[in-house]
A and B are shown apart, each in its own frame.
Chain A
């Protein structure tokens, strides 16, 4: 997800006053949720030199697939779909700095789900409408009920589920801060081996951003959370649950097109340096009776 963060305006193309940036040598932000590395607009970064170049990579695939036998009332594995690639076509996480959504409970829009088999064959493609009576309704004209369908249920700080998914040793603040310090050290090492001035300029910005500045203004009552650049490593936006209701563009599995397809997922572990987050979820597709 290459997008600006507040207080930058949501259409800011490169990032200035937030903490995410389109760096030297990189294209402008496209604000799209990319689930596959070969999508146009994906721009992955290096995280260190040599063996230390480890960090989040773009790619979401099917890890479990099964179908329900409603005669025998049992599930059967569907191994032909394991490793299939999932995409949200042109999806954005939208907030518009409080005009559409507030407080980081981003709505996903547009929402169109595609599943391709490993070799690329498109087997499922369906979109969801904010308003079934008005499929072209822009999000700025959506009601709160329409928006809520596309929002997560809430946010969880220090999520163990996120830490486990992204490989952090635990969900503590210390682990988050340590992770950022390790990233910073790895980037400093990479900088030593980088001669290209454009790449150096980009690395210097990233290293500088990873300074988790100690807060001097601790005057407000109570303690404060840690810097958001570290805190968000274990933040989870949970409970997206959308019954996909719109046009079916591809259906190669005999899905029932007359009913909604429940999609549920969570996102979390936002790494503002990598411009990458973790996503995990389920898509249930009722099969047509003749399939």
Chain B
């Protein structure tokens, strides 16, 4: 059943919820992927290691596509005059946090229970039988027709939607992620008809981030995102808005996936992964002994405090804090990038060049992988992991004139912390974890110095 969205405000609120969910799922998927064993030295045979790597590759692909979905949602928001949204409550949360969506927010290592939970997140509704992932889908035009067909709406008042995003008592009526997006598609059609397409799409579409051969962000990675299994489109009107939603639902649940693509949908990736895990004889544990929800501290917005594992090992906790600072810096930079404050194209590219490859791939991921190798506690077994902790209720940007220098402070602090980790005194330089941290320290120093020099030292790009 579809929830009727009848105003710009309701669309924006629903898109905020969508952004929060995509962000939430992405963190959960990445946590599981980074918990996986990476060498035969961790007790896997060569064949098991190859199988594990294959699962890890798929998990990171799905997580990348969640990032892409979040990017599409942000473009949808921008197109209709909304503001970028990077908020989410800290992990873990009770299942009731997301109402009828039934999404459990927790960080758990890769195992069958975790993958089953992910499969449920991505499941089409009604959930299909076991033959679904080996069947053929339907053509994209039919997908579009289904999304745009008159919907059967579940009645609820507009006030409930507003309450849903004010953070207090959440009354989320959407019954699944699929339901949320189908409702959004119908809502875009409804509101465009009510107030006129041009009036609905009144946002600053040049503030969107999008890829493809005609991307305004230059050559390099953005002009061919498909090499990463992604496509970020610019939303400028009703057609492109529906295109964006079609892309999200066909990559995810797959109930609306084209022929030959169903097996690549998130739902089928997780379904097939579970089957492969079941089929392993002998069964093996592909993940490190990572504890659930390893955090540096308890946060006031956590609704399932008993499920938290506070990291007590000091040297590990220090690295977990460093991870959180890098993650929060990245989110703040994205908030600025997607925000409506005036900025030149050069400034946008400057920020993208710090976020999309350096921060994401050279710091956030390696720090996550290192944390899953380190003991979480002083007095019991279990490894740590990336907690994706947000220290404040709201991410707040500095005044526009201070943005560059404020991020300089972030990079300088990160660089200093990388250089002065306690773990350097506890392990030999030959230790693989230390070597990797030293490599990151060198890279963060370079990034901080080059930010100070306004990217004057980076080598020539195309």
The residues of A with any CB-CB pair to B shorter than 8 Å are: 6-11, 13-17, 21, 23-25, 28, 96-105, 107, 138, 140-144, 147-148, 151, 154-155, 197-198, 201-202, 204-205, 208, 213-225, 227-228
Name the B residues within 8 Å of A6 (CB-CB): 221, 357, 361
Which one of B208-216, B295-303, B389-397 is at the interface? Answer: B208-216
**A198, B459: Cβ atoms closer than 8 Å:** no
Within 8 A of A (CB), among B432-457: 436, 439, 442-443, 445-447, 450, 456-457
B99 near A: Cβ within 8 Å?
no
Q: Which of A9, A15, A151, A202 contacts B362 (CB 8 A)?
A: A9
Roughly how many angstroms separate A7 CA and B221 CA in the complex, as a whole number? 10
**A10-B362, A221-B212, A221-B214 are known contacts. Are A103 and B461 too (CB-CB below 8 A)?**
yes
- Other contacts beyond A99-B443, A99-B450, A147-B457: 15, CB < 8 A: A17-B56, A17-B57, A17-B60, A17-B64, A24-B46, A24-B49, A25-B46, A97-B357, A100-B458, A140-B445, A147-B460, A155-B462, A198-B47, A201-B51, A208-B54
Q: Is the pair A220, B459 in contact by a Cβ cutoff of 8 Å?
A: no
A16 touches which of B53, B214, B233 (Cβ 8 Å): B53
Question: Within 8 Å CB of A148, what residues of B?
Answer: 459-460
B458 touches A16 (CB 8 A): no
Check if B220 is an interface residue, CB within 8 A of chain A.
Answer: yes
Residues from chain B with a CB closer than 8 A to the CB of A102 are 220, 353, 458-459, 461
3 nearest CB pairs, A to B: A220-B212, A217-B231, A102-B461
Q: Determine whether the beta carbon of B461 is less than 8 Å from that of A9.
A: no
Q: Is the interface of A mostly helix, strand, loop or mixed?
A: loop
Let me know if B226 is at the binding interface, CB within 8 A.
Answer: yes
A202 touches B460 (CB 8 A): no
What is the minimal beta-carbon distance from B256 to any residue of chain A, in angstroms?
12
B228 near A220 with CB under 8 A, answer no
Q: How far is the CB of A12 from chain B (nearest CB, A)?
A: 8
Partner among A16, A142, A154 whose Cβ is within 8 Å of the Cβ of B60: A16
Q: Is B243 an interface residue (CB 8 A)?
A: yes
11 sample A-B contacts, Cβ–Cβ < 8 Å, listed by A number: A8-B361, A16-B56, A97-B362, A99-B450, A105-B462, A107-B459, A140-B442, A144-B458, A151-B459, A217-B247, A222-B213
A105 touches B50 (CB 8 A): no
Give chain B residues whose Cβ lies under 8 Å from the Cβ of A218: 231
Q: Is the CB of A197 within 8 A of B47?
A: yes
* Contact among A11, A138, A142, A227 for B457, CB-based, below 8 A: A142
Q: How far is it, in angstroms, between the C-alpha of A11 and the C-alpha of B365 when the chains are bound?
A: 11
Q: How far is the CA of A148 from the CA of B51 in the complex (A)?
A: 41
Q: Which residues 11-45 in B have Cβ within 8 Å of A in the complex?
A: 33, 38-39
Most buried by A among B353, B356, B362: B362
In the assembled complex, the CB of B314 is this many whole angstroms from the nearest CB of chain A, namely 26
Q: Is B429 among interface residues, defined by CB-CB distance under 8 A?
A: no
B358 contacts partner chain A, Cβ-Cβ < 8 Å: yes
Q: Determine if A100 and B361 form an interchain contact, defined as CB atoms under 8 angstroms apart.
A: no
**What residues of B have a CB within 8 angstroms of the CB of A228 in the complex?**
224, 227
B360 at the interface (CB under 8 A from A): yes
Contact B212 A99, beta carbon cutoff 8 Å: no
For A21, the chain B residues whose CB sits under 8 A away are 53
Q: Are A23 and B50 in contact (CB under 8 A)?
A: yes
B366 within 8 A of A: yes
Q: Is the beta-carbon distance between A9 and B446 smaller than 8 angstroms?
A: no
In the complex, what distance in Å separates the CA atom of A141 from the CA atom of B453? 13
Give the chain A neighbours of B215 by CB distance below 8 A: 220
Selected contact of B46 from candidates A7, A13, A96, A201, CB within 8 Å: A201
Q: Is the CB of B459 within 8 A of A100?
A: yes
Report whether B443 and A202 are in contact in the complex, using a CB–CB cutoff of 8 Å: no
B233: min CB distance to chain A, Å:
5
The CA-CA distance from A214 to B259 in the complex, in Å, is 11
Alpha-carbon gap, A138 to B228, bound state (A): 30
B204 contacts the other chain (CB 8 A): no
Question: Once the chains bind, are A202 and B50 in contact (CB under 8 Å)?
Answer: yes
